Amino acid sequence: MHTTSASLLERLRNPMDEEAWARFVRLYTPLLFYWGRKCGLQGEDVADLVQEVFAALLRKMPEFSYDRHKSFRAWLRTVTLNQWRGRLRGRQTRALPADDRRLAEVAGPDDIAALEEEEYRVHLVGQAMRLMRQDFARATWQAFWEFAVEGRTVAEVAVQAGISPAAVYGAKFRVVNRLRQELHGFLD
* pLDDT for the residue numbered 94: 47
Beta carbons of 128 and 176 less than 8 angstroms apart: no
The model's pTM is 0.53
Enumerate residue ranges in the chain where pLDDT < 70.
1-4, 90-119, 186-188
Beta carbons of 106 and 35 less than 8 angstroms apart: yes
* pLDDT for the residue numbered 109: 40
Q: Which residues contact 165 (CB under 8 A, 6 or more apart)?
A: 154, 155, 158
Domains in the chain, start-ordered, CATH in brackets? 1-115 (1.10.1740.10), 118-188 (1.10.10)
pLDDT, tens only, 52-93: 999 989 888 888 887 777 778 888 888 888 888 887 776 544
7: burial class by Cβ within 10 Å (0-12, 13-18, 19+)?
middle
Beta carbons of 100 and 92 less than 8 angstroms apart: no
* pLDDT for the residue numbered 13: 86
* pLDDT for the residue numbered 87: 77
Spatial separation of the C-alpha atoms in residues 117 and 111, rounded to whole Å: 10
* pLDDT for the residue numbered 181: 83
